[in-house]
């Protein structure tokens, strides 16, 4: 479904990704792990057309490398960046409405789906998003992106700084996506969550993929964990 091969990415003259290659299959949750600065966010930005790249990014058989971010989104790839991405002066409900893909006839998701995954958003339905807590803003960003009905959603550190109870809800949210065959590329710092819910684990180091296997294999591989994950 998503096939990345020999991907290089650049910020000006800085060469950040060095020949990244991996695949994401339909309905698969793939965890992208690594230390801060290893290149995980840059990989997400490269897929979304937000940084200069060389190499190949193919989505559903179509080459998307070099496309504009809105084109990539329109083709069915949703992106939840690390910074919570909401419209602060609009209510929760208005933010969700803005997520809807225009002209889309049979959306997979309804407002009620969002509110049943995150009941707190229902309670805050008519509240301006700018006054929500960090955790609530994260829920809203996830839901707004999902309202656009992506087939693949790339989520950058969704549980960063959240209380354990909200982390559990985000994990349940990811399981719901899986049940509905939405693929997920999950950039995570927390190894336990990534291992619990993902089908495959990728580890990045210095802008390259240094491990690509099952979560169980990563659990057993002390060398990779020590060299590339533990701080």
Ligand X SMILES: Nc1ncnc2c1ncn2[C@@H]1O[C@H](COP(=O)(O)OP(=O)(O)OP(=O)(O)O)[C@@H](O)[C@H]1O
Find the part of the chain contacting ligand X (CB under 6 A) among 38-46, 65-73, 143-151, 169-177. 38-46
Of 20, 28, 31, 38, the residue at the interface with ligand X (CB under 6 A) is: 38
Among 39, 49, 150, 158, the residue binding ligand X under the rule CB under 6 A is 39
Candidates 2, 4, 16, 72: give the one binding ligand X (CB under 6 A): 16
- Taking the complex as a whole, how short is the minimal distance between the CB of residue 157 and ligand X, in angstroms? 6
Among 42, 53, 65, 198, binds ligand X (CB under 6 A): 42
Q: How far apart are CA 6 and CA 160, in angstroms?
A: 29
Q: Which of 31, 33, 34, 155 binds ligand X (CB under 6 A)?
A: 34
CB of 17 to ligand X, least distance (A): 8
Q: Give the residue among 64, 41, 65 at the shortest CA–CA distance from 52.
A: 65
Minimum CB–partner distance for residue 93 and ligand X (Å): 31
């Amino acid at each position: 479904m998503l096939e990345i091969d020999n991907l290089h990415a650049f910020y000006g003259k800085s060469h950040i990704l060095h020949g990244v290659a991996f695949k994401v299959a339909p309905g698969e949750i793939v965890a992208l792990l690594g230390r801060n600065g290893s290149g995980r966010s840059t990989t997400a930005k490269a897929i979304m057309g937000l940084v200069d790249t060389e190499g190949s990014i193919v989505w559903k058989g179509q080459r998307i490398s070099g496309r504009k971010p809105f084109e990539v989104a329109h083709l069915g790839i949703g992106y939840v960046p690390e910074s919570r991405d909401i419209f602060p002066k609009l209510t929760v409900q208005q933010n969700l409405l803005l997520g809807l893909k225009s002209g889309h006839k049979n959306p997979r998701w309804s407002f009620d789906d969002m509110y049943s995954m995150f009941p707190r958003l229902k309670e805050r339905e008519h509240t301006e998003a700018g006054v929500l807590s960090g955790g609530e803003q994260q829920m809203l960003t996830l839901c707004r992106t999902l309202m656009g009905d992506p087939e693949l959603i790339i989520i950058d550190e969704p549980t960063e700084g959240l209380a354990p109870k909200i982390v559990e809800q985000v994990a349940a949210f990811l399981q719901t996506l899986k049940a509905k065959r939405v693929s997920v590329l999950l950039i995570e710092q927390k190894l336990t969550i990534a291992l619990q819910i993902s089908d495959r684990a990728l580890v990045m180091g210095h802008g390259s993929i240094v491990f690509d296997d099952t979560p169980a294999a990563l659990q057993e591989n002390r060398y990779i964990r020590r060299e590339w994950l533990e701080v």
